Structure 1
């Protein structure tokens, strides 16, 4: 994987935060910290896309039915009994 050098500008507060993360031992240098932030942002976006897709599928699955708590509890108890 090739590496690309980037130049970024941070506020004093942001720079101090990055330094504190490195000094605390969480990261070896600025680049490791920035790469970690990017990975976390990518993962968050992927999870959001999955959630949005699930919502679309749920909305297009048809009309909802009334929730029957009693039936849910009965089914759960049967599953517990069967696992014993």
Structure 2
């Protein structure tokens, strides 16, 4: 396994230490590895959503229709 040194501001280092103290992670390395795994999953989901969108074809709705629907969804909850 390769080693990587990372510099963090004090507040971030304290955050990592708190996660370890809570028992969420065994070490700072464990925490960073988990963050990377989460980011990898997020990137795959985003790429899949973009691909699905591109493959879905053109919408018959106008940009105004889409904006109105989004606004209604926000106001209606």
SS of 2:34's partner is: helix
Write the distance in 2 (CA, Å) between the matches of 1:41 and 1:29.
19
1:26 to 14, 18, 24: 24
User: Where do 5+ consecutive residues of structure 2 fail to align?
Assistant: 61-77
Give how far 1:59 is off.
2.0
Partner of 1:8: 6
- 4+ residue runs of structure 1 moved beyond 4 angstroms? none
Computing the radius of gyration from Cα coordinates, the structure with the larger value is 1
Partner of 2:41: 43
Partner of 2:52: 54
User: Where do 5+ consecutive residues of structure 1 fail to align?
Assistant: 65-84
How big is the alpha-carbon RMSD for the aligned residues of Structure 1 and Structure 2?
1.5
Write the distance in 2 (CA, Å) between the matches of 1:5 and 1:41.
20
- Number of residues paired by the alignment? 61
Q: What TM-score does the superposition give when structure 1 sets the normalisation length? A: 0.68
Partner of 1:69: none
